[in-house]
Amino acid sequence: MPRTTRTGPAKSPELDHPTTLALLATMWRIRCFEERVARLSRSLLVHGLIHLSIGGEGVAAAVCRQLRDDDAVYSGHRAHGHALAKGAPMDRVMSELMGRSDGLCRGLGGSMHLVDREHGLLGATGVVGGNLPLAAGDALAAKLRGTDQVTVVFFGDGAVQGGYFHETVNLAALWELPLIFVCENNGFAEFTPRAAHTKVERVCDVVAPYDFERRTVDGSDVPALWSAFGEYLARARAADGSGRGGGRGPYLLECLTHRLRGHYEGDPQAYREALAEADWARLDPLARLQTDARRRGWLGEDEVRSIEEAARAEVEAAVRFARASPPAEPDATAGLVYARVGTQS
């Protein structure tokens, strides 16, 4: 069976003025949220293992802001940005991180297990790569139903050396699932550089044998991320010609990102040199997009400040909300171990 060429609009969407501002707002929300989480975790108000995505906000925003609520996103241990960008309410995410009863998952999941069904955040899993086959199953469901939903799975470069990745890629390719693999390749898995994990530097090369469409993009270049993802999304959504809808894929978008902070909050990072300021300015997706927008005259000094201030205000309100929320009740778990037949999830 020869590989089918995929049809559908191939034109890359470009970032316009309002979209740029919306993305900047999303990225600021994530940035401020995570900076605040870092402080809260030092004062132990947020507990457990916390992985921040500062440096990766561009990927979260450019991908999730193009999705609909009924498109499913699967994430991993570094999930805050994906959750916020996908539409999970910030106050409830904050409450979840603080283990409160108003948390997104009533305080039962925490940072690594954010789930918000209404906004299509189907789930984050703490076991590396555990989400990959889940996302493929979700895409299979969309395909079987003949809808035009597209599933996105975020994973790190560290997940690519796991067998589950290859098992999933084979099936996604064989069954042409409407699934977009979004790899955030930050060059590290925990404390080990990619070169210690594999000879294959680019994740795109790992899926080469399957020959589906894939691209490596600079993860701090938000316009590039936007158009690359947008193109794949449009094509994954396109009807497959069978007359009953149903998207088709898969695609892989490999985003080269820089993880500004340690692997987890508290990581002493003895394994790498601190980044020079100038280098960070070059790698920071937020600063880059903002500079770009100002150069185009889309943004003045005041507006920059007001976007940032709005984000900070939202974060502070979220913290207040979470603090006011009672801790998860010890008996909150009653009835949650098993679903009862007929319950609506």
Partner 1 sequence: MAHELPYIAAINEAIQLEMARDDSVLYFGQNLATTENDEFVRAFGHDRVRVTPIAETAEIGMAVGAALAGLRPVVELYMAEFMLVAMNQVVNEAPRFRYMSGGRVKVPLVLKAGYGFTAGWAGQHTGSIYGMFLGIPGLKVALPATAADAKGLMATAIRDDNPVCFLHHYLLTLEPGEVPDGEYLVPFGQAQIRRAGGDVTIVATGWMVGKALAAAASLAAEGIEAEVIDPRTLAPLDTTTILTSVQKTGHVVLVDQAPRHAAASALIAGEIAEHGFSTLKAPIRQVTGLDVTVPYSEPMEAFVLPDDTKIAAAVRQVLGTAPVPA
Partner 2 sequence: MSTSNNPAELDDERLIWAFTQMLRIREFEERVKRTFEEHPGVIRGHTHLADGAEASIVGALATLRENDQLMCTYRCHGYPLVLGTDPRAMMAEIYGRTGGLCGGYGGSMHLVDPERGFMGTSGIVGQGIPQATGVAYAAQIRKRDQVVLCFFGDGASKQGAFSESLNIASLWKLPVVYVMENNSYNVITRVEQEDANAAAGEPLAVKAKAFSMPGVTVDGGDPIAVYEAVWAAVARAREGHGPTLVESKLYRLSAHGNIIAPPGVPLHFPEHEAVEVFGAAEEYEAAKRGDPVPRFRARLVTDGKLDAERADAIAAQVRDEMQAAVRYGLDSPFPEPADAVNHVYA
Ligand X SMILES: Cc1ncc(C[n+]2csc(CCOP(=O)(O)OP(=O)(O)O)c2C)c(N)n1
Candidates 1-9, 96-104, 121-129, 220-228 — which segment interacts with ligand X by CB under 6 A? 121-129
Q: Binding partner 2 by CB under 8 A: which of 8, 146, 198, 280? A: 198
Do you know the residue count of the chain?
Answer: 345
Cα dihedral 96→101→104→107 (10° resolution): 50
Gap between the Cα atoms of 101 and 95, Å rounded = 7
How far is the C-alpha of 278 from the C-alpha of 289, rounded, in Å? 16
- Per-residue binding string, partner 2, 206-225, x by CB under 8 A, is xxxxxx--------------
Q: Which does 200 bind (CB under 5 to 8 A by kind): partner 2, ligand X, Mg ion, none?
A: partner 2
Asked if 289 and 251 count as a contact pair (C-beta separation under 8 A), the reply is no
Site for ligand X in 173-202 (CB under 6 A): 184, 186, 188-190
Nearer to ligand X, 20 or 111 (CB): 111
| 72 part of the interface to partner 2, by CB under 8 A | no
Q: Which H, E and C letters describe 296-341, residue by residue?
A: CCCCCHHHHHHHHHHHHHHHHHHHHHHHHCCECCHHHHCCCCCCCC
Per-residue x/- marks for partner 1, 309-338, CB under 8 A? Answer: -----------------------xx-xxxx
Q: Which of residues 130-169 bind partner 1 (CB under 8 A)?
A: 130, 132-142, 144, 151, 163-164, 167-168
- C-beta of 111 vs 186, nearer to Mg ion: 186
Q: Which region, judged by CB under 5 A, interacts with Mg ion, from 35-43, 154-162, 169-177, 283-291?
A: 154-162
Q: How far is the CB of 84 from partner 1 (least distance, A)?
A: 17
Using rule CB under 5 A, residue 53 touches Mg ion: no
Under the phi-then-psi rule, with left for phi > 0, alpha for psi from -120 to 50, and beta for the rest, what region is 318? Answer: alpha
- Residues between 92 and 111 with contacts to partner 1, criterion CB under 8 A: 103-110
Interface of this chain with Mg ion, residues 186 to 245, rule: CB under 5 A: 186, 188-189
> What's the gap between Cα 70 and its chain centre?
16
Q: Which is nearer to partner 2, 35 or 205 (CB)?
A: 205
- What single DSSP character describes residue 280? H
Q: Which does 340 bind (CB under 5 to 8 A by kind): Mg ion, partner 1, partner 2, none?
A: partner 1
182 binds partner 1 (CB under 8 A): no
* 247 sits near ligand X (criterion: CB under 6 A): no
Residue 166 in contact with partner 2, rule: CB under 8 A: yes
- Count of residues that interact with Mg ion, criterion CB under 5 A: 6
How many whole angstroms separate alpha carbon 90 and alpha carbon 94? Answer: 6
Tell me which residue has its CB nearest to ligand X.
156
What are the structure tokens assigned to 254, written together? 């490999």
Strands 192-193 and 188-189, bridge-based pairing: antiparallel
Strands lying side by side in the sheet with 251-256 = 121-124, 73-75, 151-156, 179-185, 251-256, 214-218
Tell me the site size for partner 2, rule CB under 8 A. 27
CA atoms lying within 13 Å on the CB side of residue 110:
11
What is the CA angle 246-252-256, rounded to 5? 150
List residues binding ligand X (CB under 6 A): 77-78, 126-128, 156-159, 184, 186, 188-190, 259, 263
List residues binding partner 2 (CB under 8 A): 1-3, 161-167, 169-171, 173-174, 196-200, 205-211
